[in-house]
Amino acid sequence: MGAFTGALRRSGDAGFSDAALANIFNGRLPARRPAAVLRAADAADVAAGVKLAAAEGWQVSVRSGGHSWDAWSLREDALLIDLAALNGMRYSADTGIAAVGPAVRSGLDLDPFLATHDRFFAVGHHPTVSMGGFLLQGGMGWNCRGWGWAAESVASMDVVTASGEAVRCSETENADLFWSARGSGPGFFGVVTEFRLRTRPRHRSLTRSTSVYPAELAADVLTWFSSVRHEVDASVGLLAVGAAPSGLDSPVVIIDGISFDGGPSSLAPLETCPVADRALKSTVARPTDMGELFAEQSDGSPSGLRYFVDNAYVTGAASELVPAVAPALADLPTSETFTILSDFSPQLSRDLPDMAVSLRPDLYFAAYVVSRGPADDARCRSWLDATMDRLAPFSEGCYLGDSDLTVRPDRILSDAAWSRLQRIRAARDPEGRFPGYLGTPVQ
């Protein structure tokens, strides 16, 4: 025990601090630090690390890519298992299955790799999001509106359990772990060392329509958006964005539709806004590509900034919901901040597979608030708190990937799914080797 192909660093060792903070995306770092960091070289290292943690009396935390806003991998008195080296990719043309390590990055690794095989998987929007945390949270990827959660397309996975055993998980093997892994996020009680993903044929065209409106039209635009979204084809990823683009004096509201093989006709409803003549800029059915989309995401939310992030699944009559949402898109605390309101209505008419992901968003609101320094944190936090308080009457829960349960506890699973997860956790991790969530979900 304790002999690793990778590197183990305990608190006080040379390089420990760098190892503990490696790849953390959010520049607003918490004070928490682990007892040791294992940069695992392979699944055998992961299994040995879990056993070492048991011998030392540590819990186990996991980092695939470091993109979680509250740095979930940083836990006191824990062994942090860093999976950065588990980044292999394979594709089988016979099955259409791609096998990927948890550290494989959405837009920098997996999408270009699948493009060489003329295949596609609905990866995370930001190119540096790694597949581990993304899939465990359910995976709100490209056109989740039409295709559903990325976790629905996980065929099987390899998991190191809380006892240090390496097992295969699928709908027929260790089905309880497979169910739990697809949506429990940082509450999962194991370490996924490989995912096998059902890919789809790659799109032949990407077509995009975008309109930019002055902030004072936010209520008019959102009222129209609340209605027109039901007319837009499911091939289109559709959202409203509040942002302050460079070159403009004030925030704007952007309506953005990206069609995967639906063509210009799928975007035609977006040309019906009653205040379209007052748009600052519009582009209709313009061809685009994944490289451009990933670059835009990277430029819009670069690593190292001081982010405060929260979200809510919201629903309600436009007459009540729009007055609550409009200020969050039109009145931003800093020019680097952006907010989104994304439509998921096509998902409400279909059944979900049996997995921990269990809440059904109609609309998804998320705020990505960027503070300009520690002295600005309180003001930014206050803006975000006020925004989420205003949306609380319309909220049905939240998405783990953009949540901060330490500040605002919220519902993350259905009541039945939460109860089931706790029963499986008690059976699979009776000693509490995996610490679960930072903060307490409301269930």
In this structure, are 192 and 320 located in the same domain? no
Could you give the 3-state DSSP secondary structure of residue 229?
helix
The percentage of residues in the chain with a pLDDT greater than 70, rounded to a whole number, is 100
In a domain, 441, yes or no: no
Residues 74/61, Cβ–Cβ less than 8 Å: yes
225 and 374 belong to one structural domain = yes
Query: Is 70 exceeded by the pLDDT of residue 88?
Result: yes
Can you tell me the distance from the alpha carbon of 192 to that of 301, in angstroms, rounded to the nearest whole number?
27
Q: Residue 351 contacts by C-beta under 8 Å, 6 or more apart in sequence?
A: none
Shared-domain flag, residues 310 and 165? no
Looking at the fold, whether 318 and 378 belong to one and the same domain comes out as: yes
Place of tokens 């902030």: 215
Residue 343 is assigned to a structural domain of this protein: yes
> What local confidence, expressed as pLDDT, does residue 385 receive?
98
| Distance separating alpha carbons of residues 15 and 20, to the nearest angstrom | 9
What pLDDT, on a 0 to 100 scale, did the predictor assign at position 48?
98
For the cut 60, the answer to whether the pLDDT of residue 27 exceeds it is yes
**160 and 143, same structural domain?**
yes
- Say whether both 194 and 216 belong to one domain: no
Report pLDDT for 250.
87
Residue 25: which domain range?
Answer: 7-82
Indicate the residue among 143, 167, 202 that finishes a domain: 202
Has residue 70 been placed in a domain? yes
Instruction: Return d(Cα 43, Cα 141) in angstroms, integer.
Output: 26
Whether 443 shows a pLDDT value over 90: the answer reads: no
Domain assignment of residue 95, yes or no? yes
In a domain, 170, yes or no: yes
- Asked whether residue 436 is domain-assigned, the answer is no
pLDDT in tens, 71-83: 999 999 999 999 9
CATH number at residue 363: 3.40.462.20
pLDDT grade for 214, boundaries at 50, 70 and 90? very high
**For residue 430, what are the contacts with CB-CB under 8 A and spacing of at least 6?**
none
**All residues at 6 or more sequence positions from 389 whose CB lies less than 8 Å from its CB, including other chains:** none
Name the domain boundary from 163, 178, 202: 202
Residues 198, 325, single domain; the answer is no
Query: Which CATH number fits the domain that encloses residue 194?
Result: 3.30.465.10
What are the structure tokens assigned to 406, written together?
């330490």
- pLDDT at residue 101 is higher than 80: yes
Q: For residues 322 and 274, state if they share a domain.
A: yes
Strand ranges inside 163-303, DSSP E: 166-169, 190-198, 200-201, 206-214, 236-243, 252-260, 281-287
Q: For the ranges 102-111, 157-166, 343-352, 385-394, which has the lowest average pLDDT?
A: 343-352
Q: What is the pLDDT of residues 361-389, one digit of tens each?
A: 999 999 999 999 999 999 999 999 999 99
DSSP annotation string for 322-380: HHHHHHHHHS-SSTT-EEEEEE-GGGGGSPPPSSS-----SEEEEEEEEESSGGGHHHH
Asked whether residue 443 is assigned to any structural domain, the reply reads: no
The domain boundary residue, chosen from 36, 54, 82: 82
For residue 246, the model assigns a pLDDT of 76
| pLDDT at position 1 over 60 | no
Q: Quick check: 90 pLDDT over 90?
A: yes
pLDDT value at residue 2:
58
Query: Maximum Cα–Cα distance for the chain, whole Å?
Result: 69
Q: Give the span between the Cα atoms of 408 and 348, in whole angstroms.
A: 26
**311/372 same-domain check:** yes
Question: CB of 106 within 8 A of CB of 127?
Answer: yes
Question: Looking at the domain assignment, is residue 431 inside a domain?
Answer: no
The domain tally of the chain equals 3
How many CA atoms within 13 Å lie on the side-chain side of 117?
A: 20
Mean pLDDT of the chain: 96
DSSP string, 131-185: HHHHHHTT---TTHHHH--GGGGEEEEEEEETTS-EEEESSSSSHHHHHHHTT-G
State which H helix or E strand residue 102 sits in.
Answer: none
State whether 60 and 175 are in the same domain.
no
Tokens of 397: 């829960």
> Which residue, 86, 103, 19, 77, is CA-closest to 47?
86
Over 80: is that where the pLDDT of 248 sits?
Answer: no
Provide the pLDDT for residue 193. Answer: 98
> 64 and 114: one domain?
no
Same domain as 44, residue 153: no
Beta bridge partners of residue 364, listed in sequence order: 313, 342
Per-residue pLDDT tens for 285-311?
999 999 999 999 999 999 999 999 999
Write the CB contacts of 30 (distance below 8 Å, at least 6 apart in sequence): 70, 71, 74
Task: CATH number of the domain at 63, please.
Answer: 3.30.43.10
For the chain, how many residues are written? 443
**Gap between the Cα atoms of 239 and 254, Å rounded:** 8
pLDDT of 36 reads 98
**Average pLDDT of the residues in 308-331:** 97
Q: Model confidence at 438, in pLDDT bands (50, 70, 90)? A: very high
pTM of the model: 0.96
